[in-house]
Structure 1
């Protein structure tokens, strides 16, 4: 979420987010998580995605991003 804030605050209006967690993508794309322990964070991420910009989130295998891993 802090990365989204950083990108937005620095004027980035097109963003490609990559993660090796397919579960994270599913949770972000799902709206049925009111009782999930991370519901507050997921909701905040969705609000950030809803700003006036283009954000795409995609899955990348861990081997494809060793620097972040």
Structure 2
């Protein structure tokens, strides 16, 4: 299973992150990237692009990619090119999707994986470029444990 996320702090700074786990939920690898200035939609797309590249480079041939942006999931599953915003990045993601592997993209709520949200926020805070984490960063270990145990934050929905 692979989760990606993007974070944008009021258009001032943005980051993305990804977390690759085995079927038991244990850490296989992760990354964060500082993106500079962009909106949340582009940060999410960067997370997907970097995540797919990361998984492919690690040799995975079958992944389920969970993204918490329903708009990004719908854009990537659509036959249309989408909006002008992120058009080139969407093309690059679609190029990755048709390579010699099987990728299924699913929507998941942000509350279902606090770990990847924390990685995206780490990306906002570090210097430009990508950081790869072979082991879970200490600052995320309690979040990963909660994810493995199935402990999630409740989603509040106004009626």
TM range (shorter): 0.7 to 0.9
Contact 2:75–2:82 (CA<8 Å) still a contact in 1?
A: no
Contact 2:65–2:105 (CA<8 Å) still a contact in 1?
A: yes
Tell me the TM-score normalised to structure 2 length: 0.41
The answer for the alignment partner of 2:67 in structure 1 is: 19
Contact 2:97–2:103 (CA<8 Å) still a contact in 1?
A: yes
Matching of residue 36 in structure 1 with residue 84 in structure 2: yes
Matching of residue 57 in structure 1 with residue 118 in structure 2: no
Q: Which moved more, 1:32-41 or 1:22-31?
A: 32-41
Aligned to 1:26, the other structure's residue is in SS state: helix
> Mind listing any 5+ residue stretches in structure 2 that lack a counterpart?
1-48, 118-159
CA–CA separation in structure 2 for the residues paired with 1:66 and 1:47: 29
Tell me the TM-score normalised to structure 1 length: 0.87
Aligned length: 69
CA–CA separation in structure 1 for the residues paired with 2:66 and 2:82: 24
CA–CA separation in structure 2 for the residues paired with 1:34 and 1:24: 10
State the Cα RMSD in Å.
Answer: 1.4
Deviation of 1:31 after TM superposition, in Å, equals 3.2
CA–CA separation in structure 2 for the residues paired with 1:40 and 1:65: 28
Deviation of 1:46 after TM superposition, in Å, equals 0.8
CA–CA separation in structure 2 for the residues paired with 1:53 and 1:13: 5
Aligned to 1:67, the other structure's residue is in SS state: helix
Q: Per residue, is there more helix in 1 or in 2?
A: 1
The answer for the alignment partner of 1:48 in structure 2 is: 96
